[in-house]
A = this chain, B = another copy of it.
């Protein structure tokens, strides 16, 4: 751990694209040091007491919002939820004005999810608040990538020099993008696997390898990240039917054999059982899907703590 000679100096967490290798490792190490509190009988430490966070979600979400909310409460921060359907967004206020209002209420941090790529970046440039991108369009979802990396490191013993496959709709996936950026910075080999409509050749520019069948794409990998198939894309030029997709790209008992014997299987959730992944693999011994969820809370505690306390480490518990 390089805590001693490393100083965090970002106001926001917008994406992994901007993060240095040191910053990524710093956040993973911080998360690791905070995980312990989640196993206590009393899961509460006062480190962020008197700090307040607003979750400002323009898309529905249970898991990410709940994970941030639990992370905040475990650190004793106050969290306030604003979801858009119940908000003044319908009244025509600009997003920036909404955020400036939140800032004016002496809040410390805003956690934004928006269906348009780039919104959190625009907001971050225009507010003194710490801004956390909880998913913007098809762009980035950095806390998801960080929890994925932490899970990989815990299960494979390292997060560098691995062979990692990401399977599914890479094109529309913010989870994939954030993972690709972060994994490449840590010198991993990344295979992108899916139909051509979902995995354009273009993605090789990120340093990834592009495959259009599972056998090649999973060959010899340490980690298989399965992406959620968004059913609303079905029949809209991207893929013909669920059955067709599952036949060629479902990660199941058969296809998983292409990967290494000790490969782990990941999924960001929510899962379509029997579509992008079979139930036996999801519930099987190679699956670390729920371990990812647990690390999600630790990673978000680390992110909140790092941004809101300026990365000071004196009293991390």
Contact = CB atoms under 8 A, between A and B. Distances in A.
Contacts of A90: 60
A270 to B, nearest CB: 4
A119 interface: no
Interface string A38-61: 111111100001111010000011
Contact of A105 (B50, B70, B83, B93): B70
Contact of A62 (B43, B44, B70, B98): B98
A43 B50 contact: yes
B271 A38 contact: no
A88 B105 contact: no
Interface string A80-105: 10110111111111100110111111
Contacts of A224: none
A78 interface: yes
Interface in A165-197: none
A264 interface: no
Interface stretch (A203-211, A244-252, A286-294): A286-294
Size class of the contact patch on chain A: 35 or more
A93 B41 contact: no
A81 to B, nearest CB: 9
Contact of A87 (B50, B60, B89, B296): B60
A272 interface: yes
Please state the number of chain copies in the assembly.
3
Contacts of A70: 52, 78, 80, 105-107
A106 B38 contact: yes
Given A70-B105, A88-B62, A97 B271 contact: yes
A50 B45 CA distance: 8
B40 A62 contact: no
Interface string A114-148: 00000000000000000000000000000000000
14 contacts: A39-B106, A40-B50, A42-B49, A44-B49, A62-B86, A62-B89, A62-B98, A63-B101, A67-B105, A70-B80, A73-B78, A98-B270, A103-B290, A105-B293
